[in-house]
Copies of this chain bind each other. A is one copy, B any other.
Amino acid sequence: MEQQTQQQIEDGGNNQAAGTNNRWAPTPPQLRILKGLYYDKGFKYPTPEQIQEICLHLKQYGQIEDKNVFFWFQNLKARERQKLKEFQNVPVGGSLDLNFGSTSSTDDGRSIDLNFGSRVGYGVDGSIMEQRGEYHQEIETLPLFPMHGEDIFGNMKTTSEGGSGYGGDSRISLELSLNSYGNADIA
């Protein structure tokens, strides 16, 4: 997720615009801390309590709400997983005939230099939803292999987190020391 040079005009703190600004955007410090938690610490499943704590702490660096923290983690987890899923998925030998309509093989002649070095992450998605239209035209010979089991990426979901199942007053203290040196690759 290396953004190019996207520098959002975040309100240095509480410079909320005339209220027309509805979408939260993490300030660099906030982002740094969040990423530190997620990556450096592997903190991916914060409990509601922790979310609030994090949020409270992040309020020093700008307006933020619990739900922002919550969504942030949700999105990051989802997109990380999507990325993995994509790489693991190998194109089936299926033949999706894209040369419908015009069979003319018009040479494009446009050569784009090889830009290796894939950089950005993204979120490929897609879903088989009902088409709004009336037409249910199947796509050529799209096989859509019945193969499942893409759960190869272990779901180490610590479902029982969040203090559900702590025997007695067992309290865990995890201490996290993350040293982030500025220049976080905002992403």
**In A85-100, which residues have CB < 8 Å from any B CB?**
85-86, 89, 91-92, 94, 96, 98-100
- Say yes or no: is A151 at the interface (Cβ < 8 Å to chain B): no
Q: What 0/1 pattern do residues 84 to 122 of A give for CB contact below 8 A with B?
A: 011001011010101111111010101111111111111
Question: Would you call B178 and A12 a contact (CB within 8 A)?
Answer: no
- Which size class do A's interface residues fall under? 35 or more
A22: chain B residues at CB < 8 Å are: 108, 115
**In A35-53, which residues have CB < 8 Å from any B CB?**
36-37, 40-53
* Chain A binding surface SS class: loop
- Once A112-B62, A175-B177 are accepted as A-B contacts, the answer to whether A70 and B122 lie under 8 Å apart by CB is yes
- Once A49-B142, A140-B56 are accepted as A-B contacts, the answer to whether A13 and B166 lie under 8 Å apart by CB is yes
Which residue in chain B gives the minimum CB-CB distance to A120?
B67
- Once A7-B16, A47-B126, A144-B57 are accepted as A-B contacts, the answer to whether A52 and B139 lie under 8 Å apart by CB is yes
Extra contacts besides A33-B98, A49-B139 (5): CB < 8 Å = A13-B158, A33-B174, A48-B119, A56-B144, A129-B162
